[in-house]
Amino acid sequence: MTVVTPFEGIGASVRRKEDLRFLSGRGQYTDDINRPGQAYASILRSPHAHATIRGIDIAAAQAMPGVVAVFTGADMPDLGGIPCGWQIHNKDGSPMAEPMHPVLAVGKARFVGDAVAVVVAETKAQARDASEAIVVDYAVLPAVSTVTAAIAAGAPTVHDAVAGNLCYDWHIGDKAINEAAFATAAKVVEFELVNNRLVPNAMEPRAAIGDFDRTTDEYTLFTTSQNPHVIRLLMGAFVLHLPEHKLRVVAPDVGGGFGSKIFHYAEEAIVTWAAGKLARPVKWTAERTESFMSDAHGRDHVTKARLALDNDGKFLALHVQTLANMGAYLSTFATSVPTYLYATLLAGVYTTPSIYAEVKAIFTNTVPVDAYRGAGRPEATFLIERLVDVAARETGIDRIAIRRRNFIPADAFPYQTPVALQYDSGDYQTTLDAALETAGWASFESRRAEAAKRGKLRGIGISTYVEACGIAPSAVVGALGARAGLYEVGTIRVHPTGSVTVLTGTHSHGQGHETTLAQLVTDRLGVPLAQVDVVHGDTAKIPFGMGTYGSRSLAVGGSAMVKAMDKIVAKARRIAAHLMEASVDDVEFDRGTFRVAGTDKTKAWAEICLTAYVPHNYPIEELEPGLDETAFYDPKNFTYPGGAHICEVEIEPETGQVSVVNFTAVDDVGRVINPMIVEGQVQGGVCQGIGQALLEACVYDAEGQLVSGSFMDYQMPRADDLPMVSVATHVTLCTHNPLGVKGCGEVGAIGSPPAVINAVVDALRDYGVRHIEMPATPAKIWGIINAGHALAAE
């Protein structure tokens, strides 16, 4: 009898195992956790962007009902600062400026939202009430909120020891070659743009619970993190000086991160430290307003670029100068974002032979800025793909033709760019062809004419992109200043009856790892999906891990699992060989069945597993019992997903309102494990990209007040702002990891913003507009149209 089971392995769009609990409200998020005897923390935050703290009077707060303790920075003299995980060096080789980031502000508050004091009380309301009774004597100082203001002569300095607010002045590429290329170029296109600052706004606000066991001296931190082991290392080793074996970090279900939950935040250290001081659990949950003013923001670049071309439109050289806003302090990976995650990608999908990039990182009196979905690669892609469109227009070469002419050809891989990266695989012509076909590029002008009859301005835009993810080879990032390795860890724990528990060092906060990673096991070991569970997010359960960001979970974490499964299969074959009295070399394994090659002698997976744990008939002299293997996998290279995104918009000229009417994404994310999940990841990323391009603006005023400090002023994408996003994949395999996978978590947010803005500029082609800054709001677009009308009237 043949038992037919639905295929659940690699390539199957199986439903997400985690969705039952998420969709039925049974997820267990940090704020759902309550510990016996728990007290609540409320953080008093600076209302000023920049102020000297002359004194803090906590007496009234201490006397308030329910107050357990009030702490200020003065109570924490032994704590280290919040560390930065990546040291960048200046052009002259000297290290970046790295000012102390105290857990609670000492002496000065440096942004609106800077933590100044904490109240711990019996209830959340009592903690909040008491925090309002703290009297802080501020002497308000002039503030800087933008990079341009911060580098101006005589600008206020955020840190006294950091002259000119300059964190670093870094470069990559060969300046002399670059200058020579520009000197002989037939055409130079110059361009300036801003990559708008964003507030991450994960659906679940950050939360943290510190717990302390007096009998064992063990601390536990429950936190909304994408990487609990990294938090344990950063907080334990650098801030609280706790050894790892006395500190457990649990990141349970986490409701979205988008990068903002990678970083080690002060609140994690505060609740853990306070739990030890008070010998009782302390819980903090951010209110949405706090999220706006304390979650690390994203993007915020101001860039000047020049592109040199020859007479045929071939790119000869690119020169980029970027000012990157770091905010008031260096967040965990802030320094790497505008350097090694940005400038190294400036070749894009093109053969530009010379690239020279200069990046200055600037301190301002704003929330720290760090990685946000795509982290550096969206900024690079937006610059390149806008620049290419401008170059096409100014050389009179068709937008598609100029791209094709400069593409790295499919037979040129591995391709060494002039900015350090070596792309392993890709096929940009094919993804472009597929996107053009799906989007109906050739018939666009008829749709434009039809829209014009309805009084609408219709435009189409394209972005052809590559990104670098699957972060990252430890030796490479170490040489570039990373203070961590970026391998990943996977344990395959086979149980006696053959079911499997996977322990992964990656963390799922919406991506569907519990399904995708289980599919790897099903595919390789033949165990039904229902018999595979994926465990993540607890340093007490998982051997180690670097967590989830940079679209690394499958490419690095999945590869670690493959290595662990290799060990499992190798051992299981030896057990099978013993049982079948065959040479191990003759034992084949294929999805659940061990067979002596060329015979009908077989053993089932479950029997081997049972034998491993009940080793009555077992090669005990040469093999340990059990079937439980762990592997660390350090990738050989980044992975390089890429593709083409095409956006079609309609603008209502009377109001400037933009509607995205079509969006087509054709992405090469390498081998696809679960097409449904990939589609969802790309759609989500594209929606975030549309949000950045059209809707989202984090705005500070000149005094450093966060003007867009709530959803009343910060426009998150809503369902009716978004089109149906058509997603397709074209696969070229990654050549250096065992799965051939590249990653799909960020491509949507990386490829889409320039496609949207290119479409908006195209829609406005009759109004003499060269560029429109993101977000392209109705008011901005109306301003352009109105100015165009004014020109026409003259």
Partner 1 sequence: MYDFEYHKPGSIADAVKILSADPDARPISGGQTLLPALKHRLNKPTSVVDLSGIAELKGIRQEGGKLIIGALAKHHEVSESAVVKGAIPALASLAGTIGDTQVRNRGTIGGSVSNNDPAADYPAAVMALDATIVTDKRRIAADDFFQGMFTTALEPGELLVAIEFPVPEQAGYAKMRNPASRYVMAGAFVAKTGGKVRVAINGAGPGVFRQTAMETALTASWSPDAVAGVKQSAEDLNSDIHGSAEYRAHLVTVMAKRAVVAAG
Whole-number minimum distance, CB 695 to partner 1, in Å?
7
Among 37, 95, 619, 783, binds partner 1 (CB under 8 A): 783
The β-bridge relationship of strands 282-285 and 39-45 is parallel
Q: In the complex with partner 1, which residue's Cβ is closer, 196 or 464?
A: 196
Whole-number minimum distance, CB 655 to partner 1, in Å?
6
DSSP 412-425: G-SEE-TTS-EE--
Buried b (16+ CB within 10 A) or exposed e, 586-600: ebebeebebbbeeee
Other CB atoms closer than 10 Å to residue 6's CB: what's the count? 8
Q: Does an H or E element contain 620, and which?
A: none
Whole-number minimum distance, CB 292 to partner 1, in Å?
12
Among 180, 699, 733, 769, binds partner 1 (CB under 8 A): 699
Specify the stretch interacting with partner 1 by CB under 8 A; choose among 40-48, 110-118, 365-373, 781-789.
781-789
Among 23, 125, 410, 584, binds partner 1 (CB under 8 A): 125
Whole-number minimum distance, CB 222 to partner 1, in Å?
25
List the interface residues with partner 1, window 209-228 (CB under 8 A).
none
Q: Does 715 bind partner 1 (CB under 8 A)?
A: yes
- Two tokens, residue 785: 């149209």
Among 714, 727, 767, 776, binds partner 1 (CB under 8 A): 714
Q: Does 789 bind partner 1 (CB under 8 A)?
A: no
Whole-number minimum distance, CB 699 to partner 1, in Å?
5
Query: What are the CA-CA distances from residue 199 to residues 50, 206, 414, 690 (Å)?
Result: 20, 13, 37, 14
Whole-number minimum distance, CB 715 to partner 1, in Å?
4
Q: Does 123 bind partner 1 (CB under 8 A)?
A: no
Whole-number minimum distance, CB 294 to partner 1, in Å?
16
List the interface residues with partner 1, window 509-568 (CB under 8 A).
none
**Tokens 């406005």 -> residue:** 764
Angle between the N-to-C axes of helices 559-579 and 513-525, in degrees from 0 to 180, rounded to the nearest 10: 30
Interaction pattern, residues 607-646, with partner 1; x per rule: CB under 8 A: ----------------------------------------
Going by C-alpha positions, the residue among 560, 488, 460, 471 that lies closest to residue 763 is 460
Query: What are the CA-CA distances from residue 557 to residues 223, 499, 576 (Å)?
Result: 21, 20, 28
Rounded-to-10 torsion of CA 389, 392, 396, 399: -80
Q: Does 787 bind partner 1 (CB under 8 A)?
A: no
| Rounded Cα–Cα distance for residues 748 and 752 (Å) | 6
Q: Does 782 bind partner 1 (CB under 8 A)?
A: yes
- Two tokens, residue 584: 């191990």
Whole-number minimum distance, CB 392 to partner 1, in Å?
30
The answer for residues whose C-beta is within 8 angstroms of residue 321's C-beta and 6 or more apart is 303, 304, 305, 357, 358, 359
Among 409, 786, 791, 792, binds partner 1 (CB under 8 A): 786
Whether the CB-CB separation of 122 and 143 falls below 8 Å is answered with no
Whether the CB-CB separation of 333 and 370 falls below 8 Å is answered with yes
Q: In the complex with partner 1, which residue's Cβ is closer, 10 or 367?
A: 367
Whole-number minimum distance, CB 97 to partner 1, in Å?
32
Whole-number minimum distance, CB 129 to partner 1, in Å?
8
Whole-number minimum distance, CB 90 to partner 1, in Å?
35
Q: Does 777 bind partner 1 (CB under 8 A)?
A: yes
Whole-number minimum distance, CB 713 to partner 1, in Å?
5
Among 270, 695, 744, 763, binds partner 1 (CB under 8 A): 695
Among 697, 722, 744, 776, binds partner 1 (CB under 8 A): 697
Q: In the complex with partner 1, which residue's Cβ is closer, 49 or 254?
A: 49
Going by C-alpha positions, the residue among 42, 38, 39 that lies closest to residue 127 is 42
Q: Does 176 bind partner 1 (CB under 8 A)?
A: no
Whether the CB-CB separation of 344 and 379 falls below 8 Å is answered with no
Q: Under rule CB under 8 A, how many of the chain's residues touch partner 1? A: 25
Beta bridge partners of 117: 44, 72
| Rounded Cα–Cα distance for residues 597 and 576 (Å) | 12
Whether the CB-CB separation of 435 and 666 falls below 8 Å is answered with yes
| Rounded Cα–Cα distance for residues 631 and 546 (Å) | 13
Q: In the complex with partner 1, which residue's Cβ is closer, 25 or 36?
A: 25
Q: In the complex with partner 1, which residue's Cβ is closer, 1 or 779?
A: 779
- Two tokens, residue 83: 């560390």
Specify the stretch interacting with partner 1 by CB under 8 A; choose among 341-349, 610-618, 711-719, 740-748.
711-719
Q: Does 289 bind partner 1 (CB under 8 A)?
A: yes
List the interface residues with partner 1, window 129-168 (CB under 8 A).
129, 132
Q: Does 416 bind partner 1 (CB under 8 A)?
A: no
Q: In the complex with partner 1, which residue's Cβ is closer, 194 or 472?
A: 194
Beta bridge partners of 663: 647, 725
Buried b (16+ CB within 10 A) or exposed e, 268-299: bbbbbbbbbbbebbbbbbbeeebbbbbbbbbb
Judged by the rule CB under 8 A, the positions of this chain that interact with partner 1 are 125, 128-129, 132, 289, 654-657, 695, 697, 699, 707-708, 711-715, 777-779, 782-783, 786
